Amino acid sequence: MDIVQFPINMLNYFYEISGVEVGQHFYWQIGGFQVHAQVLITSWIVIAVLLGSATLAVRDPQIIPNGAQNFMEYVLEFVEDLARTQIGEEEYGPWVPFIGTMFLFIFVSNWAGALFPWGIIKLPHGELAAPTNDINTTVGLALLTSVAYFYAGLTKRGLSYFGKYIQPTPILLPINILEDFTKPLSLSFRLFGNILADELVVAVLVSLVPLVVPIPVMFLGLFTSGIQALIFATLAAAYIGESMEGHH
C-alpha cells in the first residue's frame, strides 16, 4: 500500500507546484482552457519578424546575392555547418530546417527581450516580455527537441534504439532512462534562467542608474543572448546525432 501511495503523493505534490505563479499573468479564456496570452503575443511578433524578414530577403533572388539575400544565405550556411558538425555528413540534411528554426526563433526572441522595452505596452494584468523569458516557452522548445531525437533514433535504428538503455551494462538502465529526463530539463532551465537573469539585471540597473551603466550591460546581454541560442541549437543537433549513432 505504501509503495502505491508514494507515487500518488509525488504526483499530487508536482500538481500543486505547477499551480504556483510568480507575479501577475495575462490569460485568454478559450472554451474551458486558460491560454497564457503574454507568451503567445510576443511569440507571434517574433514569428512575424522572422517570416517578414525571410520574405523580403528572397522575394527577388539574385544569382549573385547581395544585401538581405546575402545575409540570409550566410545564416543558412551557418546552420548547415552546425548541423553537419553535430549530426554527420550523411544525415544532417533533413534536420537543417528544425535546427535552423530553433536557432532563429530563440535568437530573435532573446534579442527582442534585450532591445525592445516590452514593459511600455500595458496589459490588464501582467506585462509582456521576451518569449524565452517564460518557462512555458523554453520547456516547449526542450520537449520538441526530445521528440525530435526520439523520432530520429527510432527512424534510423528501429526498436533496437531502445537497446541504448542497457548499454554498456543493464545495471545502468535507471541512469540511462533518467538521462532522457534531464536533457529537456537542462535545456529549458538553462535558457530560461539566463534570459530572465539578464533582463532582471538590466531592469535593476535602469532603475538605479538610468543613463550610463545599463548600456554596456545591454550590449553584454545581446552577446549572451546569441550565445544561448547557439548553445540550445548545438545541443539539440548533438542529441539528434547521438540518437542516430547509438552511442553516448
Report the C-alpha gap between 224 and 16 in whole angstroms: 34
Q: Is residue 224 part of a domain?
A: yes
Is 140 contained in some domain?
Answer: yes
Q: Show the 3-state SS of 181-218.
A: HHHHHHHHHHHHHHHHHHHHHHHHHHHHCCCCCHHHHH
In a domain, 91, yes or no: yes
State the amino acid at position 50 in one-letter form.
L
For residue 193, pLDDT beyond 80 = yes
For the chain, how many structural domains are there in total? 1
* Single pTM value for the model: 0.81
User: Residue 114: inside a domain, yes or no?
Assistant: yes
Residue 8 domain-assigned? no
Residue 4 lies in a domain: no
DSSP string for residues in 4-35:
HHHHHHHHHHHHHHHT---S---EEEETTEEE
Burial 114-127 (b: 16+ CB within 10 A, else e): beeebeeeeeeeee
Q: Report which of 37, 86, 47 is spatially closest to residue 239, judged by C-alpha positions.
A: 86
Residue 45: which H helix or E strand, with range?
helix 37-58
C-alpha 143/C-alpha 183 separation (Å) is 9
Q: Containing domain of residue 135, as a range?
A: 35-57+66-244
Residue 233 has pLDDT above 70, yes or no: yes
pLDDT at position 99, please?
A: 95
pLDDT (tens digit per residue) in 198-224 = 777 766 766 676 666 567 767 777 888
Dihedral angle, C-alpha 44, 25, 221, 71, nearest 10 ° = 0
Residue 3: pLDDT band with limits 50, 70, 90:
very low
Answer whether residue 151 is part of any domain: yes
CA angle 5, 9, 13 (to 5 degrees): 175
Residue 21 lies in a domain: no
Across all residues in the chain, what is the average pLDDT?
Answer: 79
The cell for 94 is 533533413
Mean pLDDT of 49-63: 83
Taking each helix axis from N to C end, the angle separating 214-245 and 173-208, rounded to the nearest 10 degrees, works out to 170
Q: What is the pLDDT of residue 77?
A: 92
Average pLDDT rounded to a whole number, residues 129-146? 88
Q: What is residue 143's predicted lDDT score, i.e. its pLDDT?
A: 92
